[in-house]
Amino acid sequence: MDRSLGILIVDDDTVDRLICRRALARLDPPPAFIEAETAAEALSRLGEPGVDCVLLDFRLPDELETPASQVWSGPDSNCARIEPAISS
């Protein structure tokens, strides 16, 4: 059996995190979810085993103290990095 993908969902909005979980729960095998509400919390969770990918909100309430870019470039990070293209 394949190991589940570990996805860290970082968003300060509970509903947005739920939407991500529901959409990604359809994967086979279903992923293991880890959640964080702030960039600082996400940085601490990156040290946990099993984080393969981070879905990161680009506007977090503590971003001035902990830039979101540190989440994927921190010393404990060896997860996938996909930068979104945002258009208006």
The SS3 of residue 59 is coil
Beta-carbon contacts of residue 40 (< 8 Å; ≥ 6 apart): 62, 65, 66
49 part of a folded domain: yes
Would the pTM of this model clear 0.85, i.e. be above it? no
Domain extent for 23: 6-73
Question: What is the CATH number for 27?
Answer: 3.40.50.2300
State pLDDT tens for residues 23-79: 999 998 899 999 999 888 888 888 788 888 888 887 777 665 555 566 555 555 555
54 part of a folded domain: yes
42 part of a folded domain: yes
Domains identified in the chain, total number: 1
82 part of a folded domain: no
Alpha-helical (H) ranges within 1-88 are: 14-24, 39-45, 69-73
